[in-house]
Amino acid sequence: MATLKDIRKRIVSVKNTQKITKAMKMVAAAKLRRAQQALMGGRPHADFLRESLTRLVGAADAYDLPLLKKRENAGKAHLLILTSDRGLCGGFNGNLLRFVEHWRSHEGKEFSEVEISVIGRKGRDFYRAKKIELDSFESWSQEAFTFADAQAMAAKWQDRYEAEEFDVLYLGFNHFKSAISQETTLKTVLPVTVEPQSETLPGPVAFEGDPKALLKQLVLRQLATEFYVAVLESQASELGARMSAMDNATNNAGEMIDSLTLMYNRARQAAITTELMDIVNGAEALG
């Protein structure tokens, strides 16, 4: 049975842990507000760019650009998965990686080969434990992810796609819905997909300059925007998941402290009762 000293040590230890989890929750909440602001600013830009691309493709009679053309009999797919470098964020990484593995076991079988690249140490550790070799791995830099970083990422994967290293590129990430809710997503990035126009325009669309050159530039920007918004979604989701996980850990620590305090008081009362009985028994023996 635990002694009073042991219980006191456990209470102190849990209180120290609670201070850490509470601080981590506050840090994640502060970072989440900034990440949400960046994401809310990026989403409208992506929607407007997607709409502009749709209109331009229709007006330009869909010029035959390699990034827009789907390859027939696509046999090789590539998965780029956005995970985190750090843990303590609930099911953020596990849910996404299980979702991707389920896709590989089912829908991914239509491809003759599926290669995997990962950004984030948790994804690397997951596939290392499964003894699955990755095509490439990168960790996140400590600096904020900018649109210039997204353009460099887009250029890298564009070059590999045009070199026919793969036929389809999928981007796996967590879509941010709220601080307590994230949705696992697997999105086709290459070739760039343009959704059919949902409504008929009232008149012809006028563009300044050569529509073909404009379309090419717009497709490249659309590709970079896809990467940019996906990273913002992933970062906001990670911070939301970490804030929620640390909040739950703080509450659990409080419940454990209450339970240990009750145990300590009962043990202390039992010790006092035992001492009183010894005194009474001693007095009776002397009397």
| Active centre residues (catalytic) | 89
* Cα dihedral 241, 244, 247, 251 sign: negative
Contact 215/60 with Cβ under 8 angstroms?
A: yes
Cis peptide before 211 (omega within 30 of 0): no
Beta-bridge partner residues of 80: 117, 171
Q: Which of 57, 78, 73, 53 is nearest to 163 (CA)?
A: 78
**Total Cβ atoms within 10 A of residue 144:** 10
Q: Which residues contact 75 (CB under 8 A, 6 or more apart)?
A: 111, 112, 113, 167
For residues 144 and 153, what is the distance between their CA atoms, to the nearest angstrom? 14
Burial grade of 32 (CB within 10 A; 0-12, 13-18, 19 or more): buried
